[in-house]
Amino acid sequence: MKQRRVVVTGMGAVSPLGLDIPSLWEGIRTAKSGVGPITQCDVSNLETRFGGEVKNFDPTNYMDRKDVRRNDRFIHFAIAAANEAIRMAGIVATPENAEEIGVVIGSGMGGLATLAENLYILRDKGPNRVSPFMVPAMITNMASGQVSMMHGFKGPNFCPTSACATSAHAIGEAAELIRRGVATIMIAGGSEAVITPIGIAGFNANKAVSTRNDSPETASRPFDVTRDGFVLAEGGAVMVLEDLESAISRGATIYAELIGYGLSSDAYHITSPAPGGEGAGRAIKMALKTAGIAPSDVNYVNAHGTSTHAGDIAETSAIKSVFGDHAYKLAVSSSKSQMGHLVGAAGAIEAVICVLAINNQLLPPTINLHSPDPECDLDYVANQARPGKIDIAISNSFGFGGHNVSLALRRWDA
């Protein structure tokens, strides 16, 4: 049977750079930082007091007040991003197509704020005061569930959870469902709302995040020798993936083709990458193989690029091991320099940025890169976006536990 081709027909995003796709791209294009002091909760006693917050977000713009109260912030983000993507794609569920449309939206940590709030209630007021909506507001699969219920999509519906690789897995697996003929259209991505005292304290405890409180906007500095950890961020991003024949038949705008999906495990350590980026390299190689392309066909890599010492070096090594001499002809950049790390939503928002970069033929920057680490010696598009040919882009996502995902996206040319 001929394998179906998968294209992108819609995108949505809620991020530290803004509440929609135009705001996200304007922030990327102008090398803006979305990182600043945390305002939504009391962090005065924490080592890290800044992050990539979503600002001016009103969930009542996307759902009624009763449903806002019954759902965690990570679900609010997922619904907002999905609504934008679905609207862009022009998707409407009908009795004829509802079973052909599915949803895969992941979250790395789910409703942390809801859990913490109800733990305080349990301690201070007793078990009878714990909310009956605590569990459905907290569990990671409910973002995907709520989007399907809101829009009436009755196809495949589930939620991957693989730390920072979560939403890249969601996009890759959603594409596989289309290729296998299980669904025609998939709403795929991720959402995260981890800017809470317990979330920040946990990452402080394992020494993963920056403590550069005196200069939040410059704290995320991937590939720079002065980097001191990643910057925690929140938000959501969603793609509408569609069978090519379906997209053409209904006259949809096609923004890119998803041509490759690679995934692997480091089988090495709970937080540190495998030496030399060996596992990451295997994921990139698989993405190239499933796409049927050569390393030299790739123009741009949106790096995982977290701004951690070991991670940035390992990823640079992985890119060099896969691409050889061509690695020095690639443009490589980290969008986390501008937004921070959206954890379970990172892979999706970075894949969206790849699609936007392809459509605008503009290479996104790595900001705050002023003293490159000698072990990170590629072209990281330092500090300013620049025009550049992008026919094929790779988006990398690597998560705690050794989860590695690479997605390959190609410029659409009818």
DSSP H/E element including 201: helix 197-205
CA-based nearest residue to 199, from 73, 34, 32, 18: 73
Q: Which of 76, 151, 341, 403 is catalytic?
A: 341
**Residue 376 among the catalytic residues:** no
C-alpha torsion 14→17→18→20, nearest 10:
-60
Phi, psi of 104 (to 5 degrees): -130, 100
Rounded CA-CA distance 275/117 in Å is 40
DSSP state of 71: S
Quote the radius of gyration of the chain (alpha carbons, Å).
Answer: 20
Q: Which of 159, 164, 354, 376 is catalytic?
A: 164
**Residue 341 among the catalytic residues:** yes
Rounded CA-CA distance 401/212 in Å is 26
C-alpha torsion 396→191→120→64, nearest 10:
170
DSSP state of 104: E
Q: Which of 304, 354, 376, 403 is catalytic?
A: 304
What CA–CA distances, in Å, run from 307 to 226, 254, 368? 9, 33, 10
Interacting residues of 166 by C-beta distance below 8 A, sequence separation 6+: 106, 107, 108, 160, 190, 343, 344, 345, 347, 399
Instruction: Give the total residue count for the chain.
Output: 414
Instruction: Name the token pair of 200.
Output: 């920040």
Residue with tokens 């010492």: 309
**Residue 76 among the catalytic residues:** no
Q: Which pairs from 372-377 meet CB under 8 Å and 24+ separation?
A: 372/223, 372/224, 372/225, 373/223, 373/224, 373/225, 373/227, 373/312, 373/313, 374/225, 375/313, 375/316, 376/223, 376/312, 376/313, 376/316, 377/316
Write out the catalytic residue numbers: 164, 304, 341
